[in-house]
Amino acid sequence: MKKENNSRPLILVTNDDGIKAGGLEFLVKVLKQFGDVVIVAPNESYSGMSHAITVKTPLYAKLVKEKGGVKLYKVTGTPVDCVKLAINVLLDRKPDLLVSGINHGTNSSISLHYSGTVGAAREGALNQIPSIGFSLLNYRHDADFTEASRIAEHVVKVVINDKLPSGTFLNVNIPDCDPVKGARVARQSKGKWVEEFVEREDPRGRKYYWLTGHFENMETEAKDTDEYYLNKGYAAIVPCQLDATNFNLLPYMKEQNYEL
Amino acid sequence: MKKENNSRPLILVTNDDGIKAGGLEFLVKVLKQFGDVVIVAPNESYSGMSHAITVKTPLYAKLVKEKGGVKLYKVTGTPVDCVKLAINVLLDRKPDLLVSGINHGTNSSISLHYSGTVGAAREGALNQIPSIGFSLLNYRHDADFTEASRIAEHVVKVVINDKLPSGTFLNVNIPDCDPVKGARVARQSKGKWVEEFVEREDPRGRKYYWLTGHFENMETEAKDTDEYYLNKGYAAIVPCQLDATNFNLLPYMKEQNYEL
């Protein structure tokens, strides 16, 4: 690919709901004012794919359209595949910013571990690119992203100036209300999914299970968590790190004779 | 399912290489001495699946065999699906310990983000179960897990006594040498994957891409990381946390006007 001379920031956009998702369209409208936008997104929904990569099959990438200066590629893989393929193959220079979303549904608290939207943002950070994942707390296809777009615009503007410290990405969740009261920096709440599997029988008489269940916030008294602010009508901005080490435990484990 | 009276610890075993993997067999041999073992693992290899869950299709689970008191279930899903299905459907009581592996190949440094082996251990911790992921730095099917088994035995023995603090799981990587010199508590090294996609053309003339690439340790001078100890011939035990919040950044972000 030819290298273009361009001083506008290059913004890579992806998601996990696929190229036809409404949240993606709203996000691109916001981002066009800040730089040159290239969309590289899954050809279909890849919800719940976390940080998964495709290792057993090859990937196809296709330029679907170029409209208003925005190229849209679809990829036959996960959100993280999309980021890797964009950076290594499809783009002619390293993006200055990666934005993932706007996801249809929440990725707050521990849900970030399951999220393909967040996975893509984490992969951006692993490639030393300032990266943000946006999610709206509304799962419906016809969700209204107007307020979410306003919040995204604010956060993107700050990140473009700040660049974000290395090794960090943002997980931004936005409540489904109008107006959204504002945006607050928060920590990830402790929570759990209370799982329920629906058990059914297929036409051949074999039992099968659908994953379902609901989230429970385990820190209902805390006033500095993403869950707290979302419940109060504020967007929650959680700075997330790539390093999973629990540093507080290192001396404890040495005392407990984990070493051999 | 009937509740059995049993004072031996219940140990749930899973992996991401599938029910036929050699590493799984070695692990079960180690674990049988510590408690009652139930294996719930993917029916085939789910490498690189991270913390992914299956949301678009239902899951099937089948009791493949019961041998020497060990039940083996295969599941048509990811390692995290296996853990969820085991806890919610297949087991008659909550496991006292979850062990994932022994993975064929490394999951040190940032590779933990892509790993299904680690994903399963993280899911155990999300369910308040002491959980460990083991990986051997040898990708081959015929890898020798003898030394890795010895290390696993030591770590499991300590975890059964210690239980591990809540919100923490262990990512244990074991070098492919004989003898392994010992085991060291370590932090996750900073690293990156230098990606290379192999580009080919299919019989219909369409370009496709295979993910490949190699890992680069970004902290070659550090002497407290998993990469350091692995290179020295020691197993590396990294205590990992479920909370991804970068707490150091919270005040910084407020100063930078991220809030609205």
- Position A6 confidence tier, pLDDT thresholds 50, 70, 90: low
Distance CA A114, CA B117 (A): 15
Q: Does the pLDDT at position A63 exceed 70?
A: yes
Check A50 against B49: CB less than 8 A apart: yes
What is the average per-residue pLDDT within B98-109? Answer: 97
Q: Does the pLDDT at position B132 exceed 60?
A: yes
ipTM for the complex shown: 0.95
Q: Does the pLDDT at position B258 exceed 60?
A: yes
User: Chain A: nearest CA to B134, how far in angstroms?
Assistant: 14
- Position B228 confidence tier, pLDDT thresholds 50, 70, 90: very high
- Chain B residues in contact with A87 by the CB 8 A cut-off are 195
- Position B3 confidence tier, pLDDT thresholds 50, 70, 90: very low
What is the average per-residue pLDDT within B238-242? Answer: 98
Q: Does the pLDDT at position A3 exceed 90?
A: no
Write the pLDDT tens digit of every residue in B66-96. Answer: 998 999 999 999 999 999 999 999 999 999 9
Q: Does the pLDDT at position A2 exceed 60?
A: no
Helix axes B22-31, B146-162, angle to 10 degrees: 50
User: Which two tokens mark B72?
Assistant: 């083996």
Check A246 against B257: CB less than 8 A apart: no
In this predicted structure, what is the pLDDT of residue B251? 96
Sign of CA dihedral A176, A177, A180, A186: negative
Distance CA B115, CA B138 (A): 15
Check A52 against B114: CB less than 8 A apart: yes
What is the average per-residue pLDDT within A238-252? Answer: 97
User: Chain B: nearest CA to A35, how far in angstroms?
Assistant: 20
Q: What is the four-CA torsion angle of A23, A25, A30, A34, rounded to 10 degrees?
A: 120
Residue contacts between A and B (CB atoms, under 8 Å):
228
HSE-up of A99 (CA within 13 Å, CB side)?
35
What is the average per-residue pLDDT within B39-48? Answer: 96
User: Which two tokens mark B172?
Assistant: 């244990």
Distance CA B213, CA B112 (A): 16
How many residues are there in chain B? 260
**Pick from B94, B91, B133: which is nearest to B9 by CA?**
B94
Write the pLDDT tens digit of every residue in A134-144. Answer: 999 999 989 99
What is the average per-residue pLDDT within B146-157? Answer: 98
Check B89 against A183: CB less than 8 A apart: no
Mutate to test the interface with A, among B17, B40, B50, B149 (most CBs of A within 10 A): B50
Strands B36-42 and A197-201, by their bridges, are unpaired
Contact of B22 with chain A, judged by CB distance below 8 Å, is answered with no
Contact of A155 with chain B, judged by CB distance below 8 Å, is answered with yes
Write the pLDDT tens digit of every residue in A66-122. Answer: 998 999 999 999 999 999 999 999 999 999 999 999 999 999 999 999 999 999 999
What is the average per-residue pLDDT within B205-218? Answer: 94
Contact of A14 with chain B, judged by CB distance below 8 Å, is answered with no
CA distances from A108 to A88, A171, B163 (A): 30, 8, 28
Check A200 against B89: CB less than 8 A apart: no
Average pLDDT of chain B, as a whole number: 95
Domains of chain A and any CATH numbers: 10-189+221-255 (3.40.1210.10)
Residues 59-118 of B with CB under 8 A from A: 59-61, 80-81, 84-85, 87-89, 110, 112-114
User: Which two tokens mark B126?
Assistant: 């999300």
Would you say A144 is a known binding-site residue? Answer: no
Distance CA B172, CA B169 (A): 10
**Pick from B105, B101, B171, B178: which is nearest to B146 by CA?**
B178
Distance CA B90, CA B94 (A): 10
Would you say A81 is a known binding-site residue? Answer: no
3 state DSSP class of B159: helix
Contact of A241 with chain B, judged by CB distance below 8 Å, is answered with yes
What is the average per-residue pLDDT within B180-202? Answer: 95
Question: Residue A221: left if φ>0, alpha if ψ -120 to 50, beta else—which one?
Answer: alpha
What is the average per-residue pLDDT within B235-253? Answer: 97
Distance CA B234, CA A183 (A): 46
- Position A1 confidence tier, pLDDT thresholds 50, 70, 90: very low
Q: What is the four-CA torsion angle of A40, A42, A48, A50, rounded to 10 degrees?
A: -40
- Do the Cβ atoms of A12 and A40 come closer than 8 Å? yes
Write the pLDDT tens digit of every residue in A189-224. Answer: 999 999 789 999 999 999 999 999 999 999 999 999
In this predicted structure, what is the pLDDT of residue B7? 80
Check A165 against B252: CB less than 8 A apart: yes
- Percentage of chain A beyond pLDDT 90 is 94
Check B54 against A154: CB less than 8 A apart: no
In this predicted structure, what is the pLDDT of residue B196? 84
HSE-up of B55 (CA within 13 Å, CB side)?
17
Contact of B139 with chain A, judged by CB distance below 8 Å, is answered with no
In this predicted structure, what is the pLDDT of residue B6? 57
Task: Report how far Cα B87 is from the mean position of its chain's Cα atoms.
Answer: 17
Check B250 against A239: CB less than 8 A apart: yes
User: Chain A: nearest CA to B118, how far in angstroms?
Assistant: 11
- Position B124 confidence tier, pLDDT thresholds 50, 70, 90: very high
Distance CA A252, CA A184 (A): 34
